[in-house]
Each structure stands twice: as structure tokens, then as C-alpha cells.
Amino acid sequence: MRLSSVDAAALGVGLRVGMPLADARAQIGELTVVPHDPVLDQDWLDRLAQGCARYSPLVALDAPDGLILDIAGAEHLYGGEAELVRDVERRLARLGMTLRHALGPTADAARALARYQTRPAPDEAQAIRRLPVAALELEAEATTALVRAGLKTIGDLASRPMANIAARFGADAAMALRRLLGDAPSPLDPRIALPPVVAERRFAEPLGSTAHATKVLAELAGEAIEALGERGKGGRHFRATFFRSDGLARSIAIETGHPTRDMGLVMRLFAERMDSLADPLDPGFGFDMIRLAVPRLEALGATQLKLEGGAVRAANESAAIDELADRLATRLGRGRVRRFRPADTHIPEQAQLELPAADAPPPLPWQEPDPGEPPTRPFHLFDPPQPIEVIAEVPDGPPHQFRWRRQAHAVRRYEGPERIAAEWWRRRDNGGLTRDYYRVEDAQGRRFWLFRHGLYDEKPDPRWYIHGVFA
Amino acid sequence: MRESSPLLAGLRKRIARLAADGGFESRRTEGWLASGHASFDAAIGGGLAIGRCHEFFATDALDATSAAAFASLIALRTPGKAPLIWLRTSDAGKRTGHIYAPGIAELGGDPDRLLLVETADPKMLLACANDAIRCTGSAAVIVESWGKFPLLDLTAGRRLALGARDAGTTLLMLRLNAAPAPSVAETRWSVAAAASHALEANAPGAPAFDLELLRWRGGAAPARWRLDWNHDEQSFREAALSGALLPLPARRAMASHGAAAA
């Protein structure tokens, strides 16, 4: 086992990353060792990134231990770059994080400066030129080759023709150099895309109570809905982010089945969501900023409400059902409130789709029943089908008696087989076995849907299953 | 005794007042979910009263599908597009099977009207049922439970029934694998599968139900019916005696059609 990361005190006494744990223990008697958990690290970095969304909406993760913020146009809110950096440092220090930062003209330049800068420089351009070639983060051999060739800094490299660098060290090296120097774009991959409608409020004094925060959220919802109304849009997805003064943040999101500008509905859904949180919203030292973003918009015309008449009443009733579906989906999870849609296949268990009510597509026609015929598909379907023991008079004949859930059923009436072949055009292995379905009725009048999985010439001893129960 | 009599008089007055402004049974119902079978509907005063609570017990665990189908068909045969809200716990799919929309479509119901809500446990089921019945505009709310359901005591049942009455929604409690017990339901049924009327070549026929009315607040109980479902007319009708001659011309036409096809 080796050390994957050491803190400042450990560095001070001579421990280094990559050192065997046994050696470190031999050097320092009372060493505190914590197992490395990359997933937790990633989680924590993500939470820090969420907290940093207060400075700029464009925050990108630089795993495993970096964050890149695009603060262009946002620094004046804090009274300049230096003030903003001080604020970041102060908040992260409260969380026990040590910070190494740099400002740069491009994301890659800032990143390289933060990670590789060793000597001070009069300005940014000079600082970049003084970076060691390791800042290009090429493969170890390429870096060694560069240093052997006497090219120790980015400045040395930049003074050579780009074509020669590409020829000697590969196109990657040339590209990395151009990115560092700002000649090629270095796009950010923000953690969360910029939402089209945002309302936010900052507080001089942190809010200590959740109730007060909810009140502010309602005001923000009012502002956001006004902005939506001006654009003729309605929101489908609302996300409230509560920034705590210690630098962390908590996001709570709701979703609606139809675009809405109904403030009451939005706030009811937020209340529902907060009630159903496993760990309640914790103000900690207080919230000093609340942001409401509407990441998903859809067109919604102006509406006229509260007219007398049947059409409006019907519209109100369907709106009431939609609201119920939204509320239950917010409480239970969106996948637990579902609608049914047909799927174009004859494999019974795939013939219906159960989709979240919030994003079910418009209805498609279902298979019409044949006049005068009893239903050929069951009311309840078992997925996966349940194995049963069947006695048939002749091997590939209809079932005579079967045993399901430790109970024997004598077959009185049957119809079949309805032969359903596997979808050989979809799968390379011809899709599996053919099924022979029988509709059977037992002595008590219960109707079942049984099938034999495989024909006798496909398989020596095909098994029987019950796939559904008819009304 | 003398001290208590004004107290008693006060209580009596209060009871009278409660009964006057919407006591439990005093309010008239807005309509009925009718089965389409005249004598069945007439016997229970027009059908299942809208805005009330009705309980359907499956006679046996294996009759769960019959009970579920009867409750949903009587709700889905109402005209219009009003949704049928169906609440069940997420383990119901394994026990009684997933609700299969193509099967409902073949029974003549419109699966697009179904809104399925699955909850993790019976406690949440009850909480969601309370929300669902207070939402106007549904054809009915089906609450499917398995086993005893101790959370549904008289208080909880009464709360549901009052909520349904105030919003004018119909609550159909589907009690599978449970024994009938006293409750505030308007009607209580025991539903079982019945042998169907055989078709050509001894094939199982239209869905048949054995219904027993265990309790009806409006009057006499119990009573029994044997109905089968005709999906062409979207109605229940008297089940033909099993094994009898084909009585209906529709059947005969179908049978000869089947013979021609064969």
C-alpha cells in the first residue's frame, strides 16, 4: 500500500505521495491513515463545485482535486478578482480545505498556473512562459525528451516553430502548447448547463431558518414566473439551490408534467419535495444566497382562467389530475407514477410501456378487441413468467392439469396454441425459443394464460410457465 | 343525574346539527357507476354510488384478478376520458401480476385512462389515497391492498370516505387476500371468478364473475349474482348457464364465423 495523498503537516515531516505505507509508518510513529476512497472524493468535489456556483454559473470539475470557474464578468460582484479569490479562500478554509489558485486568460492556462507555477512573474503572459514543460501534461517520455532537448519551460518551447514541435513530439504536444498560450480555444465542460431563467437573492446576514428561506423562495418563484410570462413560456423543471455561508450548497428540484406558470403549484411541489427529503434542509450557519433556476422551458400561451362553462371545468379537472400526478411523482419519485403506452411488438411482456406520467408521449391506439371474441390477452401479467408443472395428455398437446403456487388446477376448457415466435430479426441468436400459449380455465372458473417455452424439435424437454391471469 | 341532563341535551343537539349539515349518509349521491345489467343496478339503487367508498374482497387469493377486473371495468365503462387512478404497492406486481394494458384494451377499456401509482409500503399507499380521492375529475380511485392492512382502521376508513364524499370521487377499495371486516364502505362485495360460457371447441368464453353483496348501507343484503362481461356493449349481463345452448345471435354469428375460418 502506498500513500495516495498527504496533508501539509505530513509534507513538513518528509512524507511524499507514492511512498510505501510501511516506510511512512517507520518514519512517523503516530501516523493517521485514512483509506483512499475516490468515489467519496469525487462526491465531495461535486459538492464543493455546487457551492462555488455562487461565484459563477459556469463551474467545471477538474478531477480529482480541481475546480475551474469561469468568472469573466462576475468578479465585479465581489469588488474585483482579488476580493473574489479571498472570499473563495475564506469559505473553503472554513471547510478545512487548503487552496491553491490561479487566474488565467483561458481555462487551461489557469489550470496549469495553479498546478505548476513555482516562480513569481510580473504578469500572466510571463508566468505562463516560465512554467515548466511538465505543465503540458504529456506522457512521461515526451516530457523527458523535451527536457533532454534543452526545452525546460513553456517559453523555450513557444519560441520554436510549431510545425517542428508537432513533428518531433506529436500533434498532442503542439495542441496542448497552443491551448496554454491561448492560441487555441480551451472550452469548459460546466457541471450544470446555464439555465435560461434564473432568479437569485443574496443576503448580507445569513438566514438561519428554513421557513424564512422558503418564503424567499416563494418571492423568487414569483420573479421567475414573471420572466417566464414575458417570454410566453412555462417551466417544466425548477431547481432551487440554497447556498450556505460555509461554502456548501443544497439543490432541490421539482418537475411538472406540463409547462406551468402557476406559482401556487410550484410552491406546493417544493413543499412536497422538502417534506419527503430523507435528510431535511439544514441551514447550518445560515443561507447567504438562494437561487431559483428554470432549466427546462416549454411554450405556454397566455391563459384565461375562471370562466363559467363546461369546457373550462373539464380543463380544470384535467389540470387537477395533472397536479395530483406531479405531486405524487414529487413525493414518491417520478418513475412511480406511470401511464401505459402500447409498444409495437408481439412479445407479450414488451407490448406495453409503463412510462413516467411526466413524460408520457401522446396516446397511441391500442389493439381493438375482436367483436364477440373473449380477450386473448390477460388482465394481469407476470413478468418474468412463473414456472409451473404441467401434465399434458400428449407431449406437444394442451395442458391437462397444472400446479402453480403449490396448488393443483384441473383444466376444464382450453384454447390454443397461439404460437408466438421469438423476434429472430432483432437478435443474432435468433431470439430464443418459440412459445405456445394456451388460454385455459380450471374447475373453479379461473382463467389462466400458460405457455410452453420451446417446441419439441427446438428443445428436448420444454418447460411450462404461467404468464398471466384473465378476468 | 340532574347535572348530566343539560350535558346530554347539549350533546344531542350537537349530534342533530352534525346530521343536518352533511351527516354521513344524509347527502344525496351525484350519480352511480352502473354495471349495465338492469336488475343488478336496480337491486342496489342504481349502481355503485359516486362519491362513496366501495369495497371489493377477492373470495380467494386466486380471485384477485376477477376482483380487480370487476372494479376497473365498472369504472372504465363510464363514458368520457376521466382517468382511473390506480394505487398499489410495488410488490403487487409480483403477487397478483402487473396490470396489463393490452388485456384491458381487449376487454374494451381504454388503457390511456389509467394512471398507475406505485408506493413503497402500505403507509404511503394510504397517504397517497387520501390525496388522490381529494382530487376531482377522476372516474374512480382504486386502492389495491394485499392482506390484512391494519393501518386501514375505522378512523382511516372514515377519513377516506369523508374525503371521497366531499370531493365527489368514488373510492374502490380492492382488498385482496383479506377477510371482510366492518368498515364505513357503502357497499361491500365478495368477487370470485365463475366458469365462463364455453365457446366452440370448449374454449373459455367471456369473463364471468360471481358476485356476492355482503353489505349495502341502503338496504337488504346479502345477494348473489353471476354476471359476465360483454366488451362489445361495454356492459355486464346475466351469465348464461354453463353448458347451455348458445342463446345469443351474436354468439351464433361468431361461432359460424369461427367455423368458416376453420
Residue B243 has pLDDT above 60, yes or no: no
Among the partner residues A366, A372, A470, nearest to B111 by beta-carbon distance:
A366
Residue in chain A closest to B254 (alpha carbons) equals A372
- B18 domain residue, yes or no: no
User: What is the spatial distance between Cα A274 and Cα A283, in angstroms, rounded to a whole number?
Assistant: 13
Beta carbons of B103 and A323 less than 8 Å apart: no
B chain contacts of residue A371, beta-carbon cutoff 8 Å: 232, 250, 254
Radius of gyration of chain B (CA): 21
To the nearest whole Å, the CA of B198 is away from the closest chain A CA by: 8
Beta carbons of A380 and B103 less than 8 Å apart: yes
Q: What is the pLDDT of residues B133-189, one digit of tens each?
A: 999 889 999 999 999 999 999 999 999 999 999 999 999 999 999 999 888 899 999
Radius of gyration of chain A (CA): 33
Tell me which residues of chain B, numbers 223 to 242, contact chain A at a CB-CB cutoff of 8 Å: 229, 231-232
First CA to last CA across chain B, in angstroms?
86
Report pLDDT for A303.
Answer: 63
- B183 domain residue, yes or no: yes
- Determine how many CB atoms are found less than 10 A away from the CB of residue B10: 10
Beta carbons of B232 and A366 less than 8 Å apart: no
To the nearest whole Å, the CA of B17 is away from the closest chain A CA by: 32
Report pLDDT for B251.
Answer: 40
Q: Say if residues B41 and B35 touch (Cβ distance below 8 Å).
A: yes
Residues 6+ apart with CB under 8 A from A27: A13, A14, A15
A chain contacts of residue B74, beta-carbon cutoff 8 Å: none
- B15 domain residue, yes or no: no
> Which helix (H) or strand (E) element contains residue A272?
helix A263-275
Mean pLDDT confidence for A58-83? 87
Residue A25 has pLDDT above 80, yes or no: yes
- B17 domain residue, yes or no: no
A chain contacts of residue B115, beta-carbon cutoff 8 Å: 321, 325, 337-339, 357
Given the C-alpha cell 439551490, which residue does it identify? A241
To the nearest whole Å, the CA of B80 is away from the closest chain A CA by: 11
- B3 domain residue, yes or no: no
Nearest CA among A441, A433, A391 for reference residue A416: A441
Report pLDDT for A312.
Answer: 53
Q: What is the pTM of this model?
A: 0.75
Residue A311 has pLDDT above 80, yes or no: no
Q: What is the pLDDT of residues A436-454, one digit of tens each?
A: 999 999 999 999 999 999 8
Beta carbons of B117 and A440 less than 8 Å apart: no
Nearest CA among A265, A54, A362, A70 for reference residue A187: A70
**Sign of the Cα pseudo-torsion (B36, B42, B47, B53, in order):** negative
Rama region for A96: left / alpha / beta (φ>0; ψ in -120 to 50; rest): left
Q: Say if residues A97 and A47 touch (Cβ distance below 8 Å).
A: no
Beta carbons of B65 and A383 less than 8 Å apart: no
Least confident among A9-13, A40-44, B109-113: A9-13
User: What is the spatial distance between Cα A433 and Cα A465, in angstroms, rounded to a whole number?
Assistant: 13
A chain contacts of residue B124, beta-carbon cutoff 8 Å: 332
Report pLDDT for B227.
Answer: 92
Report pLDDT for B2.
Answer: 54
Three-state DSSP class for residue A383: strand
User: In one letter, which amino acid is B7?
Assistant: L
The CA-atom distances, in angstroms, between A179 and each of A107, A154, A163 are 9, 12, 15
Beta carbons of B117 and A332 less than 8 Å apart: yes
Q: Say if residues B125 and B145 touch (Cβ distance below 8 Å).
A: yes
- B247 domain residue, yes or no: yes
Number of domains in chain B: 1
User: What is the spatial distance between Cα B112 and Cα B81, in angstroms, rounded to a whole number?
Assistant: 8
Report pLDDT for A190.
Answer: 83
Tell me which residues of chain A, numbers 219 to 258, contact chain B at a CB-CB cutoff of 8 Å: none
Q: What are the backbone dihedrals phi and psi of residue B195, each rounded to the nearest 5 degrees, phi first?
A: -60, 135
- B9 domain residue, yes or no: no
Testing the interface with A: which of B78, B84, B85, B106 to mutate, by most A Cβ within 10 A? B106
Beta carbons of A380 and B98 less than 8 Å apart: yes
Report pLDDT for B195.
Answer: 92
- Assigned C-alpha cell, A242: 440554497
Testing the interface with B: which of A272, A313, A328 to mutate, by most B Cβ within 10 A? A328
Beta carbons of A380 and B199 less than 8 Å apart: no
**Would an 8 Å CB–CB cutoff place B221 in contact with chain A?**
no
- Specify the CATH number for the domain of residue B87: 3.40.50.300
- Assigned C-alpha cell, B198: 364455453
**Would an 8 Å CB–CB cutoff place A368 in contact with chain B?**
yes
Mean pLDDT confidence for B49-68? 93
User: In one letter, which amino acid is A153?
Assistant: T
- Determine how many CB atoms are found less than 10 A away from the CB of residue B24: 13
Domain holding B228, by residue range, is: 31-193+204-261
ipTM: 0.84
The CA-atom distances, in angstroms, between A319 and each of A294, A313, B143, B144, B167 are 21, 10, 22, 25, 15
Q: Say if residues B99 and B114 touch (Cβ distance below 8 Å).
A: yes
Beta carbons of B195 and A375 less than 8 Å apart: no
**Would an 8 Å CB–CB cutoff place A338 in contact with chain B?**
yes
B chain contacts of residue A378, beta-carbon cutoff 8 Å: 65, 97, 100, 103
- B180 domain residue, yes or no: yes
DSSP per-residue codes, A256-270: EEEEE--HHHHHHHH
User: What is the spatial distance between Cα B164 and Cα B187, in angstroms, rounded to a whole number?
Assistant: 14
Q: What is the pLDDT of residues A343-373, one digit of tens each?
A: 989 899 999 999 998 888 888 899 888 888 8
Least confident among A162-176, A275-289, A450-464, B234-248: B234-248
To the nearest whole Å, the CA of B62 is away from the closest chain A CA by: 8
Report pLDDT for A100.
Answer: 86
